[in-house]
Amino acid sequence: MAKILILGATSAIAEQLARLYAQADNEMLLVARNSKALDEVCRDLEVRGTGKVSSRSHDFNAIEKAQEFIKQCYEILGSIDIVLFAFGTLPDQTRSNQDTTLMHKEILLNYNAIVVLLNELGMKFEKQQSGTIAVLGSVAGDRGRQSNYIYGSAKGGLSIFMQGLRNRLARHDVQVLTIKPGFVDTPMTKSFKKGPLWVGPDKIAQDIKRAIDKRKDVLYTPWYWWWIMLVIRSIPERIFKKLKL
Amino acid sequence: MKTSFYTSWGNRGAVPHFATIPANMTQAHVIFEYDSSIVYGQGRSYGDVCLNTNGGLIDSRYLDRLLEYHEGARLITCQSGVVLKNLITFLETKKMFIPVSPGTANVTVGGMVANDVHGKNHHRVGSFGNHIQSLTLLKGDGSIEECSENINNELFRATIGGLGLTGMILTVTLKLKSVENNCIAIKSFKTKNIEHILALFDETDDEYEYTVAWLDMYSSPQKGIFNCGNHANGDIDCAAPVKSKTVPVNAPNWLLNGVSSKLFNKLYYSKASLFEREVTSYQSFFYPLDGVEFWNRLYGRRGFYQYQFVVPYGSFLTVYMDILKFIKKFNQPSYLAVLKKFGDIKSIGMLSFPRAGYTLAMDFPDKGRATLKMFEAFDKLVMDAGGAVYPAKDARMNRNVFLQSFPAVTEFIKHKDERFCSDFWRRVNIDG
């Protein structure tokens, strides 16, 4: 039996992971902005057999409400064993290059909104001396590329924040998992042309569940992204800066 | 707006569409940006009923949620994009099963409704459409219609088997049947000729819920394997093998040819004794080909056709013998052939294919003009016998064959939604 908090529960990967955890003795709280879309996800999980599913809609842009929000989550669930961060956007790099207000908004949601919640949760998990904090990052956070560096920098920053948090919570038996998916075929990436490296959100969710069970620190999913990013990271900057990536 | 390429199971080339992939039912409400749209589920129909070249396409892959389950009433309500294999996995935990199952589990519930699919138990329970409690339909004007036997009955009957042309099916409430376990008790016979098979259908009708025959069209007379099965009793488990093999890319055209398919048929026949186990899993009984994902790619880039027809019991043998003559004349043997007997339970859809008689499905590689010529000869035989050709498998029948197969189309067009269209519908040209 586990108490699970999912933030951004209408994201395709989060929904698939929630299905994997849908068993009679697990209790879930699902949070997303769009309450109608969230309702569909909850009904499905209830049918699939989750013991208790609660949901609430929340706008993660409201950074100032972070402390209050986490408090409310604890009021609903009592305690939290696993928390998954899955909300976020994929900013349009070209538009953001021309529009600083837009760029700032994207950074606020994809970095600030997450780390304030992580900070609140960090204090709780440090006290309870157990549990899992899992955050959806991206392979895009491993190196800045002209086509996607606003998203990439937020995910990269997040990855460093997670390293620090992991370092801090390791001696309290808290798992801090950074998930770095490659190309995933989801509504967020629907405008992309798909190739052989693309996989479905169900495959990613299976990898995440396994990584949580094995208490891993960093997950590249599917596995071959570890090798791809190893190559990408090792290209010298004076060559990398000239590449069209 | 960028175009995306979609293809159907016959794999005869992908065509461009303006695709929308709604993440939830709310998003499905604002998708009608194009003059015409068609819903695309898993692309398992063989021809063009699921395609709408250069037009709108609504990809239902994310509408895959189970919405309500009533154990007592044996009902499940789900979204139209739910894939059958996932539904079955869920139902297994509840000791339930779907009342009618097609030959692959890689189809969506919406697709099963829109093509009013049939299974190996038609003689007992009719087709899939006979087991739908109700459904909700999103019309082109944005309204949502609830349809059932009692509410909007005509629209209900137009939508079942309606090839996705009456609107977008959002949800389906399906009647289930309870089972004791996930096993099928199976019995197999090797058959000597077609008469032998027809006799076995008659003999086993009462004793077995599921019956189907496979034919080796290379042998003469056609040898075959007759499988019949019932849901098994008792507390046993036949969990299906988890891993399946995938054909990752199109095979070269020459891979499946007269020699290799002849060999395959021979091997299948001679190995048949292996399948004479007492009980087997759903997968090996209902979905034997699902073990190889994208097996359609084995035909190569040229793709393939399936020709499936139904004719009344009395005319079947004559039509069958004439078809064999044409196959010989055109020198294009069928690589895979399956025969089923439909019972006399009436399908409720206006364009439903299942009706009393024998139905034969034959796969042929696409050899261009010669293949089409042969099908035209088949058409004439089937039409003369008062039969029908199955749209879900079809990629080439003409207007007259469609009209003769489905006389209720005059009633159907009153319910066709003007914002929905498919390549199939344009081809048979009923509006024009």
Residue B171, domain CATH: 3.30.465.10
**B140, pLDDT greater than 70:** yes
Residue numbers in B near A34 (CB within 8 A): 24, 26
CA-nearest residue to B248 within chain A is: A196
Distance from the Cα of residue B222 to its chain's centroid: 24
- pLDDT at res. B273: 57
CB–CB contact B68 A47 (8 Å): yes
Strand partners, B38: B57
Peptide bond into B221 cis (omega under 30): yes
Kindly state whether residues B238 and B129 are assigned to the same domain.
Answer: no
Kindly state whether residues B355 and B247 are assigned to the same domain.
Answer: yes
Is residue B49 in some structural domain? no
> Which CATH number characterizes residue B258's domain?
3.30.70.2520
CA-nearest residue to A36 within chain B is: B26
User: What is this structure's pTM?
Assistant: 0.92
Kindly state whether residues B310 and B167 are assigned to the same domain.
Answer: no
pLDDT band at B1 (very low <50, low <70, confident <90, very high): low
User: What distance in Å separates the CA atoms of residue B121 and residue B229, rounded to the nearest whole number?
Assistant: 10
Is residue B301 in some structural domain? yes
Residue numbers in A near B21 (CB within 8 A): 187, 190
A44 touches chain B (CB under 8 A): yes
CB–CB contact A48 B90 (8 Å): yes
The alpha-carbon gap from B252 to the nearest alpha carbon of chain A, in Å, equals 19
What DSSP letter does each residue of A105-160 carry, written as one string? HHHIIIIIHHHHHHHHHHHHHHHHT--EEEEE--GGGSS--TTSHHHHHHHHHHHH
- pLDDT at res. B84: 98
Name the percent of chain B lying above pLDDT 70: 96
User: Taking Cα atoms as reference points, which of B386, B319, B399 lies closest to residue B355?
Assistant: B386
Domains of chain A: 3-240 (3.40.50.720)
List the 48-87 stretch of A: residues with Cβ below 8 A of B: 48-49
The alpha-carbon gap from A109 to the nearest alpha carbon of chain B, in Å, equals 21
User: Taking Cα atoms as reference points, which of A26, A23, A35, A31 lies closest to residue A5?
Assistant: A31
- pLDDT at res. B243: 64
In contact, B114 and B169? CB cutoff 8 Å = yes
pLDDT band at B277 (very low <50, low <70, confident <90, very high): low
Is residue B422 in some structural domain? no
CB–CB contact B66 A47 (8 Å): yes
Cα Rg, chain B, nearest whole Å:
21
Residue numbers in B near A43 (CB within 8 A): 65-68
The alpha-carbon gap from B48 to the nearest alpha carbon of chain A, in Å, equals 23
**B301, pLDDT greater than 90:** no
Dihedral over Cα of A24, A30, A34, A35: its sign: positive
Kindly state whether residues B188 and B172 are assigned to the same domain.
Answer: no
Kindly state whether residues B224 and B134 are assigned to the same domain.
Answer: no
User: Taking Cα atoms as reference points, which of A184, A177, A179, A180 lies closest to residue A215?
Assistant: A177
Element (H, E) at A83: strand A82-85
Kindly state whether residues B233 and B147 are assigned to the same domain.
Answer: no
The alpha-carbon gap from B77 to the nearest alpha carbon of chain A, in Å, equals 10
- pLDDT at res. B31: 64
Most A-contacting residue of B66, B71, B92, B144 (CB-CB within 10 A), to test interface: B66
- pLDDT at res. B225: 93
- pLDDT at res. A188: 80
Is residue B159 in some structural domain? yes
**B432, pLDDT greater than 70:** no
**B192, pLDDT greater than 60:** yes
- Chain B residues bordering chain A (beta-carbon distance below 8 Å): 2, 21, 23-27, 62, 65-69, 76, 79, 90, 93
Dihedral over Cα of B112, B118, B124, B130: its sign: positive
The alpha-carbon gap from A43 to the nearest alpha carbon of chain B, in Å, equals 5
Mean pLDDT on B383-410: 97
- Main-chain dihedrals φ then ψ at residue B70, nearest 5 degrees: -115, 105
Around Cβ B169, how many Cβ atoms within 10 Å? 29
Kindly state whether residues B262 and B323 are assigned to the same domain.
Answer: yes
Is residue B53 in some structural domain? no
Is residue B235 in some structural domain? yes
- pLDDT at res. B313: 97
Kindly state whether residues B348 and B284 are assigned to the same domain.
Answer: yes
A40 touches chain B (CB under 8 A): yes
User: What distance in Å separates the CA atoms of residue A30 and residue A32, rounded to the nearest whole number?
Assistant: 7
3-state secondary structure of A189: helix
Residues of chain A with pLDDT under 70: none
Name the percent of chain B lying above pLDDT 90: 78
Residue numbers in B near A36 (CB within 8 A): 24, 26
The alpha-carbon gap from A223 to the nearest alpha carbon of chain B, in Å, equals 18
3-state secondary structure of A178: strand
Kindly state whether residues B84 and B218 are assigned to the same domain.
Answer: no
- pLDDT at res. B73: 97
Kindly state whether residues B220 and B101 are assigned to the same domain.
Answer: no
| Sequence-separated (6 or more) residues with CB below 8 Å from residue B104 | B44, B84, B287, B289, B290
ipTM of the predicted assembly exceeds 0.85: yes
Is residue B2 in some structural domain? no
Kindly state whether residues B260 and B296 are assigned to the same domain.
Answer: yes
In contact, A51 and A22? CB cutoff 8 Å = no
A36 touches chain B (CB under 8 A): yes
Burial class (CB in 10 A: 0-12, 13-18, 19+), A49: middle
Residue with tokens 């408090």: A71
Write the secondary structure of chain B as one string of H (helix), E (strand) and C (coil).
Answer: CCCEEECCCCCCCCEEEEEECCCCHHHHCCCCCCCCEEEECCCCCCCCCCCCCCCEEEECCCCCCEEEEECCCCEEEEECCCEHHHHHHHHHHCCEECCCCCCCCCCEHHHHHHCCCCCCCHHHHCCHHHHEEEEEEECCCCCEEEEECCCCHHHHHHHCCCCCCCCEEEEEEEECEECCCCEEEEEEEEECCHHHHHHHHHHHCCCCCEEEEEECCCCCCCCEEEEEEEECCCCCCCCCCCCCEECCCCCCCCCCCHHHHHHHHHHHHHCHHHHCCCEEEHHHHHCHHHHEECHHHHHCCCCEEEEEEEECHHHHHHHHHHHHHHHHHHCCCCCEEEEEEECCCCCCCCCCCCCCEEEEEEEEECCCHHHHHHHHHHHHHHHHCCCEECHHHCCCCCHHHHHHHCCCHHHHCCCCCCCECCHHHHHHCCCC
Average pLDDT, chain B: 92
Peptide bond into A236 cis (omega under 30): no
Q: How many domains does chain B have?
A: 2
A136 touches chain B (CB under 8 A): no
CB–CB contact B66 A44 (8 Å): yes
- pLDDT at res. A187: 82
Q: Which two tokens stand for residue B241?
A: 């093998």
Is residue B207 in some structural domain? yes
Range of the domain at B267: 183-397
Kindly state whether residues B155 and B282 are assigned to the same domain.
Answer: no
What number of C-beta contacts closer than 8 Å exist between A and B? Answer: 39
Domain end: B144, B179, B214, which one? B179
In contact, A216 and A180? CB cutoff 8 Å = no
User: What distance in Å separates the CA atoms of residue A128 and residue A124, rounded to the nearest whole number?
Assistant: 6
Nearest CB to B2 within list A47, A187, A191: A191
